Structure 1
Amino acid sequence: MSETAGAAPIETQILVAGAGSTGLAAALAFARAGWRVTLAGRPPAPLPGRTVALFEASVRFLESIGALEAVKAAACPIETIRMIDDTDQLLPVPDLVMRAEEIDLPAFGYNVSNDELTAILQERARAESIEIVEAEIADYDFEGDLVAARLADGRRIEAQFVIAADGRASRARNAAGIDTKEWTYPQIALTALLRHELPHDNISTEYHTRSGPFTLVPLPACGEAENRSSLVWLMSPRDARRRLAKPRAELEYELEDHAHGKLGTMTIESDIGEFRMGGMQVSRLTAGRLALVGETCHVFPPIGAQGLNLSLRDVADLEDCLASVDLRNERELSRALLRYELQRRADIGFRTHGVDLLNRSLIIPYLPIDLIRGAGFVAMTALGPLRRAVMREGVAPHLARPRLMRGEEPREPRLRGKRPRPGAELVGAAREALALLRPGRRGAGR
């Protein structure tokens, strides 16, 4: 037996499993609310060419955990989103252009390198009172009043509650017996960071092609490269193999062709990433002393930049649900997790099915489907109220408006036990004043 195997267990209130961006965000959100938090997991490997577009509600979340200024310094604002039907369907479809100023925002959000975002959140986590354990969790025991997590090096963590942010192959989810439904698409996504001749004007452009979206999202200047964008390009596995085998210069010419020359000459400045497109849903989001967040409970193609934004809403909603709960009280905890389950189901289901439907509508060359998709573009272009409603729902969904995404002041921190509900002191004072005014009470007026 190793020395670490016989050591005393690490005791904590909340164990966050997974050290990616979602896990780091969860650890920061709960630590800043006063919970005793332990974060366990290996730092993720670099993701070539991957960026994340963080929309308005996520921007407020980053501000609430103290990371916004650092993220903005490394990011580029997205002020306009342009969607272009490039499927060569029978009837022409107008470009759909959505501007943040239409809904009184300076920008829809910010696009930042995934690796830079993770590094910023890691730095914030080290500055907070978070115990960080850089080790994989090998197994869990969910029986009893505490969750016991056994690390790969033999150490143990005992927690009152576990937040699983350990991705698609989550050990926590599997140990809790939560079933998954997975599916794949006949697509590969290529990702890269690009330099280009002409300015992007803070416009994100999404070309809808028969193989899936070809998306260029603005990035900030870097050194001598003033004009930069990130690429997410969906295509068939055969096309992916062919393009990855090409000399870099030939692939750059093909990129310019797919962008219709709108950004001029292009240069690939990063390694090229590739990953298979698929989706996943779970049978439930909670189990006993466990809640799932992020890609532990939902996966879908990178269309409309919904992935991490949805994951941060999971975290913010869970923090709201557990705000005034004593984790040692099973009845209170069960009620809070039921609320989380019900609230997240609607949002996750809506996004998952919406992205799935749009992606399949592109890769299936069927005239009635083309006509329906084209009619949606026409309606959005022609009807301002509809367009603005869709934009608001995309950047700050009304179904999920937890405190951390409303820009409210932080709650009073807590260390143990129950936390007073927001406004509890005012309510108590009002009750005392009413009691003094009741007839027959000594000191009451006539």
Structure 2
Amino acid sequence: MGKPTSPGDDFDVAVVGAGPAGTAAALALAHVGAKVALIGPPPPNAQAARPETRTAALLTSSVDFLKRLNVWEALAPHAAPLKAIRIVDASRSLLRSPDIAFEARELGLEAFGYNVANTTLNEALYARALDAVAQVIPESVAAIAIGDRTAELTLSGGSTLTARLVAGADGRQSVCRDAAGIESSVWRYDQAAIATSFRHTISHDGVSTELHRELGSVTTVPTPDPHTSSLIWVGATAEIDDLMSCDDTDFAAHLQDRLGDTLGAVSDAGPRASFPVAGLTAKQLAAKRTALIGEAAHILPPIGAQGLNLGLRDAAALADCVAGALRQGHDPGGLAVLAAYIRARQLDVMSRAIGVDLLNRSLLTGLLPVQAARGMALAGLNAFAPLRRLVMRAGLAPPARLPSLMRPVTAPPRLRA
């Protein structure tokens, strides 16, 4: 897995963190001509690890990105198209919102994106990195010392390397963020989530369903098997703790009660994993030869498939910034590159973080004015097709122009006004 480092090894960029956002960043940076080291423990082998419970809903721009990186071909057989998103107000509010369906065909698309298991995604990215990245190092980073011209990274095995830019994709407890002196804001909800999968008797037909209820939502996402869906169940922490303690039969019964007849009879719930629902935003996206990517920069509640797609846009945008510097013979970790990266990403990150937080909090409040406002907004989307299409486009793409590696290779279908 990459040749061993030796003292004095130097790189244009050291990407710290071998999760999907970090590995995609390493591939994108290598694609634009940077000498890259990808540092981080490799993803666990799917057959050796405990069964994966989480999936990634990749939006169309993320799929185009993976095509450019020569990763999508390995993923396509294991991916399920997301043809429509249905939102159902399952609350007991006096002011319930109407059901609404967003359909990809309204935008002239076959699908909004594709759903794929996290283990499958991680393995495909990492396998490609072993071929395409200058050095892949299956260690963690113990310390980072940032100087005027380079950063020196000390690895868990004791060796060191230097890089002109550090791409920090090392998650919520980011060593890179701390080394660069970047503060973060963290907030927590009295919520947790369960990730699992289940079988059902009615075909999902490529439709993802979000049932919104007080204190959380239940989201089903299609898998390649038309009678199996992945599931994210968000609820109050105490509720999720109770559900995690249920045996498989009781959990399936609770899920059936929550879903009703949406997908028919529920059975064969898979392994469950739970995690707290929290948010994090870095107060700066870059500083001191360090650019933050993915969960080192932002963590959002699991609503609307925004988290990983946001991290992949970070990766693609950083590649654009570094490519420009390298073409002009400039320092890829210099102030101009860091400033360009901040400009490219801060509006997208801020707007998604605020939007997802507001949507989640609207499910937590019992205030009638908030419920009324939410209901009127959804009713307007349901009744007014041009507004609905505008919202769908906003959900698929950032407020600014997409990074170059995320733009379709061929011209997209003409969108109706």
- Structures share fold, TM-score greater than 0.5: yes
Larger Rg: 1
* Structural mapping, 1:101-180, within 5 Å: 101-180=105-184
> Offset at 1:44?
4.3
Between the aligned partners of 1:391 and 1:237, the Cα distance in structure 2 is 31
Moved more, 323-332 or 194-203: 323-332
Between the aligned partners of 1:94 and 1:366, the Cα distance in structure 2 is 18
Between the aligned partners of 1:156 and 1:331, the Cα distance in structure 2 is 20
SS at match of 1:324: helix
Question: Structure 1 residues 184 and 56 mapped into 2: Cα distance closer, same or farther (>3 Å)?
Answer: same
> Offset at 1:272?
0.3
1:385 paired with 2:386, answer yes
Corresponding pairs, count: 401
1:228 paired with 2:232, answer no
* Match of residue 9 from structure 1: 8
TM-score (norm 2): 0.92
Between the aligned partners of 1:151 and 1:178, the Cα distance in structure 2 is 21
| Structural RMSD (CA) | 1.8
* Structural mapping, 1:144-293, within 5 Å: 144-221=148-225, 226-293=226-293
Conserved 8 A contact 2:165-2:333? no
> Offset at 1:238?
1.2
Unaligned stretches of 5+ residues in structure 2: 411-417
SS at match of 1:322: helix
Conserved 8 A contact 1:256-1:263? no
Runs of 4+ in 1 over 6 A off after TM superposition: none
> Offset at 1:94?
1.2
1:24 paired with 2:23, answer yes
Per-residue CA distance 1:99-134 (angstroms, 9 max, x = gap): 000001000000011111101111111221431100
Question: Structure 1 residues 408 and 199 mapped into 2: Cα distance closer, same or farther (>3 Å)?
Answer: closer
Per-residue CA distance 1:394-446 (angstroms, 9 max, x = gap): 1123424110111249xxxxxxxxxxxxxxxxxxxxxxxxxxxxxxxxxxxxx
SS at match of 2:116: strand
1:299 paired with 2:309, answer no
> Offset at 1:324?
2.0
AA of the residue aligned to 1:35? A
Moved more, 56-65 or 396-405: 396-405
> Offset at 1:32?
1.6
Moved more, 62-71 or 14-23: 62-71
Question: Structure 1 residues 215 and 331 mapped into 2: Cα distance closer, same or farther (>3 Å)?
Answer: closer
Per-residue CA distance 1:266-286 (angstroms, 9 max, x = gap): 234531010001001111111
AA of the residue aligned to 1:333? G
Between the aligned partners of 1:401 and 1:209, the Cα distance in structure 2 is 34
Between the aligned partners of 1:333 and 1:265, the Cα distance in structure 2 is 58
AA of the residue aligned to 2:42? P
Moved more, 234-243 or 397-406: 397-406
Conserved 8 A contact 2:167-2:291? yes
* Match of residue 438 from structure 1: none
Between the aligned partners of 2:67 and 2:289, the Cα distance in structure 1 is 28
Between the aligned partners of 1:279 and 1:129, the Cα distance in structure 2 is 32
Question: Structure 1 residues 307 and 400 mapped into 2: Cα distance closer, same or farther (>3 Å)?
Answer: farther
* Match of residue 343 from structure 1: 344
SS at match of 2:279: strand
SS at match of 1:195: strand
Between the aligned partners of 1:314 and 1:304, the Cα distance in structure 2 is 18
Identity %: 38
AA of the residue aligned to 2:24? A
> Offset at 1:321?
1.6
Between the aligned partners of 1:260 and 1:130, the Cα distance in structure 2 is 52
1:56 paired with 2:57, answer no
AA of the residue aligned to 2:266? M
Per-residue CA distance 1:170-221 (angstroms, 9 max, x = gap): 1011011100110100001001011111100000000001021100000012
* Structural mapping, 1:39-78, within 5 Å: 39-44=38-43, 48-78=52-82
* Match of residue 414 from structure 2: none
